Structure 1
Amino acid sequence: MATAPANANLPLFYKDLVPLSSVDHADFHARALDRADFLIDQHAVPLTSDELVAASRFYPIVFSAGDNPVPLALMGLNEGINTFVDAEGKLVNPVYVPAYIRRYPFLLARLRPDSEELSLCFDPTANAVGKFDEGDALFADGKPSEATNAVLQFCQNFEEAGQRTSMFVEELKKADLLMDGEVAIQPEGADKPYIYRGFQMVDENKLRELRGDVLRKMMQNGMLPLIFAHLFSLQLMREIFAEQVKSGKMPLVTEAPIV
């Protein structure tokens, strides 16, 4: 989830990747973006397990379908719909912003498949890194600036959080706690409910049936609070749905996958 493969299969948001170089980018600056165009049509964003509690206050949290699920913050219930940003990509209300979004346009990536070494890269199409007059200089006297070192540290922390997330999900799978999710929401005046599938969630029945020693282990290693954060957050699906209705961003079909 955190490392870019070959350019033909770049992670979410990234359209291109260029390794940051003290030679090629000696006079480059990084500037803050006042809008996130890449979020306008994005309804789900990856989360690390470190963020589940903070994110659960604002987003429904689900797990992607498939054999290698990842936690996702839902910013909309339908593909192409994001209820947290306006038409210009600006946040409608102050919310927790997932680290995956804050990391963009930078990324630690393996430049060679046969090497474990990670290099700091950036997406040149983001219009956030370039030969600008404003922003933070990326290099000073041929060495990484404080701003670049801070970005590198953030990306390294994100990689480590990604590893913890993988272990968290593996423990969920080992305990057979994930199941296919389904949510039915009946709008007022509608003939039939909207059915959302295509995601995974924790099975509360299996959670209640876990042996005491397994539950104790989950409490001790910090998994249980994360599971509850996920489960509590699912109540926000109806709020997201209501926002979609309010903004007129409703699909014509009533059955659709979330992710």
Structure 2
Amino acid sequence: MTEVMTDERPQTALPPFYRDPRPLSSEAHAAWRLLEGDAGFAAEAAYVPVVASEFARSAQSYPLVFAMPGAVPVAVLGLERRNLFVRDGEWTRESYVPAYVRRYPFGFVATGEPGHFILAIDAGSGQVVETGEAGIALFEGGEPTERTRQALAFCDAYHAESEMTRAFCAALAEKDLLTERRADATLPDGRTFGLQGFQIVDPAKFDALDDATVLDWHKRGWLALVHFHLASLDRFQLLLARQAGLDPEEQDA
């Protein structure tokens, strides 16, 4: 988990899932269409970024940790390069689907101007077709269709949440609350797994926060985020149970 990245800042590698993100243009992509798809694109994702507004729901299904570098909050989906919550292209119904997953194949890319971003789509996605009549049009008559406008609104909201989440993570770092951890586990069949490159909030340091900070964080809703994060760490047992429940052929795949 040492290369978690979000697509809201400059980066040296593509963010998870994306192969060929391109800024959408009514001229260049006038004929492009979007097909219905499943969650198969996320089948090998062992983690995905989450934003602050998702902590409560995500913590019910996944461990939430802070990936290094940058203290990016992520939901851990597997113990190796496998998403234990996707099977045959379907996300398990009882588990929350993170917004990062739901927005795909759309996203935002920087324009080069500080603080400015533009809607993009992953041209490498199997849901995107450049010609034909199948699927939903992205543009009609030179204007974005309803589907494209919905994607823009969703990505805009996600970006705003990402900004607020970064402020929360910066506060954790400023108070020196994050500590590096490694998770090691052994399955009943003797297989071992190690997860590293992440941080968690140190409970002792969190409990020792001064009163002024506690009051400020309470007003901002940040205290609740820390509690959701700490409670979510129990979900590592869920990952172990899911990993142990795989068929031998799936474990070797």
Coarse TM-score class (shorter-chain normalised): 0.7 to 0.9
Matched, 1:17 2:18: no
Counterpart position of 1:124: 123
Q: Which residue of 2 aligns with 1:30?
A: 34
The answer on 1:171 being equivalent to 2:175 is: no
CA distance in 2, matches of 1:225, 1:168: 11
Distance in structure 1 (CA, Å) of the matches to 2:114 and 2:214: 39
Which residue does the alignment assign to 1:47? 50
Distance 1:194 1:118 in 2: 39
> CA separation of 1:189/1:43 partners in 2, compared to 1, >3 Å: closer, same or farther?
closer
Q: Flag structure 2 segments of 5+ consecutive residues without an equivalent.
A: 1-5
Specify every segment of 5 or more residues in structure 1 that has no aligned partner in the other structure, as ranges: 252-259
CA displacement at 1:196 relative to structure 2: 3.9
Question: How much is the aligned-residue C-alpha RMSD, in angstroms?
Answer: 2.3
Structure 1 CA distance, aligned partners of 2:151 and 2:40?
Answer: 21
CA contact (8 A) 1:2 1:162 kept: no
Q: How many residues align?
A: 244
Point out the structure with the larger strand share: 2
Counterpart residue type for residue 45 of structure 1: V
Displacement of 1:157 in angstroms is 0.8
Match of 1:257 in 2: none
| Superimposed CA distance per residue, residues 127-158 of structure 1 (whole angstroms, 9 cap, x where no aligned partner) | 22223534332222211112211111111111
The CA distance in 2 between the partners of 1:19 and 1:81, in whole Å, is: 29
1:57 aligns with 2:60: yes
> How far apart are the structure 2 equivalents of 1:173 and 1:29?
43
Q: Separation in 1 of the partners of 2:125 and 2:155?
A: 17
Report the equivalent of 1:110.
Answer: 110
C-alpha distance in 1, partners of 2:27/2:85? 39
Please list, as runs of the form range in 1=range in 2, the aligned pairs for 1:120-159 lying within 5 A after superposition: 120-130=119-129, 131-159=131-159
Deviation at 1:184?
Answer: 4.6
Quote the Cα distance in structure 2 between the aligned partners of 1:30 and 1:140. 13
Paired residues of 2:18 and 2:122 also in contact (CA < 8 A):
yes
By how many angstroms is 1:187 displaced?
Answer: 4.6
TM-score (norm 1): 0.85
Q: 1:62 to 1:103 in 2, by over 3 A?
A: same
Give matches, 1:180-259, under 5 Å. 180-185=180-185, 187=187, 196-247=195-246, 248=248
Paired with 2:185 and 2:9, the residues of 1 have a C-alpha distance of 36
Q: Cα offset for 1:244?
A: 0.5
Q: 1:167 to 1:115 in 2, by over 3 A?
A: closer
The match for 1:77 is 79
Q: Do the aligned partners of residues 138 and 56 (structure 1) sit closer, same or farther apart at CA in structure 2, a change above 3 Å counting?
A: same
TM norm structure 2: 0.87
Given that 2:91 and 2:97 are in contact with CA atoms closer than 8 Å, whether structure 1 keeps it comes out as: no
Deviation track 1:200-247 (CA, whole Å, cap 9, x = no partner) reads 001001111111221111111100111110110100101111110111
Distance 1:77 1:197, change over 3 A: same
- Structure 2 Cα separation of the partners of residues 154 and 62 of structure 1: 24
